[in-house]
Chains A and B, each alone.
Chain A
Amino acid sequence: MKTTQRALFASLLVLSLAASAASLLKTDPAKSSVSAVFKQMNVPVEATFKKFTIVIDYNPQTPGAATAKVEIDTASLDLGEAEMNQEVAKKEWFNSSQYPKATFVSSAIKPVAGGKLSVTGKLTIKGKTVDVTFPLSVKNDAGKQVFEGALPIKRLVFNIGEGEWKDSSMVADDVTIKFRVTAAP
């Protein structure tokens, strides 16, 4: 009897949580993008990730309660050339067969000046997790929320580009992950 009550209570709790999480947004993949901007022999190049999943729980009334979870298919980075795309999935770069996803999970989202949010969380790429904080802008576009931001990282911290690719004069250590997410309730 006790277990049934517990189960009932638990399911009620889940239901109420689900109700309070009505601010969970549905991401529009066609109007969302994640890209990596890096310098190759000092030439800025932008490559986009074709596959990613972004789950954002955001209510404009309570932005401090927002959460975000991002999963990116590392093998989906498009450098514009099939040969190069195969290359970046290899062991020296993303090692996509062993680490198919790069993830970001927010731990705290705080409203800051200028209608922006400061997002803190854990970024995991190639099995390495790093705490990151970056600014995020939120705009309302015809009932949809548009989140935009850029997160600078150091590729070598994540061991992206091993061996001869460690040379940052060829591919710079600084990489900016740029994203734009359009989501609606």
Chain B
Amino acid sequence: MPRYTTTAILLHWLSALLIVCAFALGWIMTDIPGLSPTKLKYYSWHKWLGVTVFAVACARALWRLSHLPPPLPASTPGWQRKASNGVHLLLYVLIFAVPVSGYLYTLAAGVPVLYLGLFQLPALIAPNPELKPLLKGVHYVMTMSLAGLVALHVLAALKHQFIDRDGLLKRMLP
């Protein structure tokens, strides 16, 4: 069975790892009550992770535009093709949209991002107390949508691996 390119495989697992870390950290940090140095540190790390997710997403999108993924097996039913294409498209959209919404949210909150504590990233919008709660909500809803889609994506992969036993997962394994 034709496999994804090594670059595509590498970028896929790298973004998976980064997204899981960013999601877990986002969950933990927002659960810390009050204010503490640890909380502030986690917020910064979460932002750095998000910026990295965005950068990797850009690399992936560029790679994807010039390299078609291996075709699905000819036996794949039509509805599965449609579902697969739809979920992949939405995943692509959200791995951009979630970091962007978080980035705009922190800018609206008046806290620009100093990537890795070294590089000042552009303040695309000015601090905006009206926009802030809106962006917070957007970031949350899109993050949870992404989490739901990732769950679906993983379940589908596991179904192929353990129920259909069609070896589809091998295309993406390192």
A contact residues vs B (CB 8 Å cutoff): 40-46, 80-81, 83-84, 87, 164-165, 167, 170-171
Interface residues of B in 124-157 (CB under 8 A from A): 127, 129, 132
Contact with A along B107-120 (1 / 0, CB 8 A): 00111111001000
Pick the contact of B40 from A44, A46, A81, A170 — CB < 8 Å? A170
Task: Name which of B20-28, B29-37, B56-64 contacts chain A.
Answer: B29-37
Q: Cβ of A165 and Cβ of B110 under 8 Å apart?
A: no
A97 CB, nearest partner CB in chain B, Å: 17
Q: Given that A41-B117, A46-B110 are contacting pairs, would A170 and B41 also be in contact in the complex, using a CB cutoff of 8 Å?
A: yes
B5 surroundings in chain A (CB, below 8 A): none
Pick the contact of B110 from A80, A87, A164 — CB < 8 Å? A80
B15 surroundings in chain A (CB, below 8 A): none
Interface residues of B in 33-92 (CB under 8 A from A): 34-37, 40-41, 44
B100 CB, nearest partner CB in chain A, Å: 19
Q: Given that A41-B117, A80-B132 are contacting pairs, would A170 and B37 also be in contact in the complex, using a CB cutoff of 8 Å?
A: yes
**Chain A interface, >50% SS class:** mixed
Q: Cβ of B117 and Cβ of A83 under 8 Å apart?
A: no
B56 CB, nearest partner CB in chain A, Å: 23
Q: Cβ of A45 and Cβ of B34 under 8 Å apart?
A: no
Q: Given that A40-B40, A170-B40 are contacting pairs, would A45 and B35 also be in contact in the complex, using a CB cutoff of 8 Å?
A: no
Q: Cβ of A40 and Cβ of B109 under 8 Å apart?
A: no
**Residue of A at shortest CB range from B34?**
A87
Q: Given that A41-B114, A42-B114, A45-B110 are contacting pairs, would A83 and B34 also be in contact in the complex, using a CB cutoff of 8 Å?
A: yes
Q: Cβ of A81 and Cβ of B44 under 8 Å apart?
A: no
Q: Cβ of A167 and Cβ of B37 under 8 Å apart?
A: yes
**Residue of A at shortest CB range from B47?**
A43
A44 surroundings in chain B (CB, below 8 A): 112
A137 CB, nearest partner CB in chain B, Å: 24
Supply 8 A–B pairs (Cβ within 8 Å), ascending by A: A41-B40, A42-B114, A43-B111, A80-B110, A84-B35, A87-B34, A164-B36, A171-B40
